[in-house]
């Protein structure tokens, strides 16, 4: 049956209106429609797509939540591994990290270019890698062991702060976005209340709850738990000069960026950011377990790497209230045989049922010159 032109036009109009309304509500936290109006438009679109299935597109708001559980999740090997961050424990080790990468950089480049840092809160959730092809979300994969994860695309589509289509007219042919899926504290408490009422075991903490939710075989369950997402890395070769530019581009793509990211001109500003958020984090509506410190001018430096950790990244984990403040960074790596990388600052502690401890990890050498030109963070 031929699709009437007015039906096709109306479907396109409804799809655009609902996508704009969803972005305003979930990303900007600034609704443009009352709930009743949104629901009416949604039902109209649903009815038209039911009458004319040819008009259904994978990025339609009606296609976010699948109606069939899956039997299992297929494994997927990451094109670029998701590595852990190394750790530092205090301001002195942060300074040592800077001195180390500067020495290596001077050996390779002679005079170092101007640089600054970007500090980002380390969200306590589950890392995801999202692939967009021609602007359309085609695959979502868990971190797994860093090399191989599980493809959970139907579940990822239910997260309203992840766009099904990038909000730009001429999207890249292919791009990968990495970030953290997490449960807000209010949602975590609601889920545990429901589980207690049903006699089910409680989740120990929001991180475990987010990980368990993402691995649910039924997308309807995932949809009811209202996960959220903050991106932190954009794999887009030969395009971005700085990490800050990558965050701005992610925002233009339609993602919600964590509003507390900050450019810092030097380590003194980095440390001030770290100490300030050691207290302010207790007032956030989600959990964090550190601060990630990145070199900002990611495209100006010709980096290599050593072992399993990235260069130019340094997460600083924020301690619990009565602990001495640990910091986290990554050892920085240039293209030398034994380069140094930035690390993550942490110590061992337990908070809200979760024990945290520093871990070292390393990475192979051929990859980093390309990875760090993209501002990757693991």
Residue ranges with strand state E in 111-160: 117-123, 126-133, 136-142, 148-150
Please indicate whether residue 322 is annotated as part of the active site.
Answer: no
User: Exactly one of 122, 294, 300, 322 is catalytic; which is it?
Assistant: 122
How many Cβ atoms sit within 10 Å of the Cβ of residue 49? 20
CA dihedral 183, 89, 276, 352 (to 10 degrees): 30
Taking the C-alpha atoms of residue 196 and residue 112, their distance in angstroms, rounded to an integer, is 57
Cα distances from 202 to residues 90, 147, 218, 287, 364, in angstroms, run 35, 30, 19, 17, 40
DSSP 48-112: HHHH-GGG--TTSGGGSS-SS--S-PPEEE-SS--PPPEEE-SHHHHHHHHHHHHHHHHHHHSSP
- State phi, psi for 77 to the nearest 5 degrees: -85, 125
CB 121 within 8 A of CB 277: yes
**Please, which residues have CB within 8 angstroms of residue 223's CB and are 6 or more apart in sequence?**
64, 65, 158
**Please, which residues have CB within 8 angstroms of residue 126's CB and are 6 or more apart in sequence?**
142, 143, 180, 181, 182, 207, 210, 211, 214
Q: Which tokens is 117 given?
A: 């840092």
Taking the C-alpha atoms of residue 105 and residue 114, their distance in angstroms, rounded to an integer, is 12
Bridge partners (DSSP) listed for residue 171: none
| Active-site residue set | 122
């Amino acid at each position: 049956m031929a699709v009437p032109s007015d039906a096709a036009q109306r479907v396109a109009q409804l799809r655009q209106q609902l996508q704009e309304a969803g972005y305003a509500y979930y990303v900007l936290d600034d609704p443009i429609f009352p709930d009743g109006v949104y629901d009416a438009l949604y039902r109209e679109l649903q009815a038209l797509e039911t009458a004319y299935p040819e008009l259904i597109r994978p990025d339609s708001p009606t296609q976010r939540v699948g109606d069939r559980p899956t039997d299992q999740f297929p494994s997927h090997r990451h094109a670029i591994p998701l590595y852990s961050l190394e750790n530092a424990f205090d301001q002195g080790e942060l300074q040592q990290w800077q001195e180390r990468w500067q020495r290596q950089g001077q050996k390779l480049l002679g005079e170092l270019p101007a640089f600054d840092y970007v500090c980002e809160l380390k969200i306590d959730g589950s890392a995801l890698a999202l692939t967009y092809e021609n602007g359309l979300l085609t695959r979502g994969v868990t971190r797994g062991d860093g090399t191989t994860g599980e493809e959970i695309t139907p579940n990822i589509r239910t997260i309203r702060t992840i766009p099904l289509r990038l909000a730009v007219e001429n999207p890249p042919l292919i791009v990968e976005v990495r970030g953290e899926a997490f449960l807000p504290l209010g949602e975590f408490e609601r889920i545990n209340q429901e589980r207690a009422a049903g006699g089910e075991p409680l989740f120990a903490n929001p991180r475990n709850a987010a990980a368990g939710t993402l691995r649910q075989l039924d997308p309807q369950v995932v949809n009811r738990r209202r996960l959220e997402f903050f991106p932190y890395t954009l794999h887009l070769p030969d395009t971005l000069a700085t990490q800050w530019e990558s965050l701005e581009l992610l925002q233009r793509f339609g993602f919600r960026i964590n509003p507390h990211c900050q450019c810092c001109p030097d380590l003194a500003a980095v440390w001030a950011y770290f100490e300030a958020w050691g207290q302010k984090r207790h007032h956030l509506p989600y959990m964090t377990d550190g601060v990630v410190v990145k070199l900002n001018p990611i495209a100006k430096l010709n980096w290599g790497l050593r072992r399993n950790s990235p260069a130019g990244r340094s997460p600083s984990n924020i301690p619990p209230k009565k602990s001495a403040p640990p910091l986290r960074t990554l050892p920085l790596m240039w293209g030398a045989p034994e380069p140094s990388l930035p690390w993550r600052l942490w110590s061992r502690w337990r908070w809200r049922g979760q024990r945290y401890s520093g871990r070292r990890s390393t990475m192979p050498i051929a990859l980093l010159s390309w990875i760090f030109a993209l501002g990757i963070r693991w």
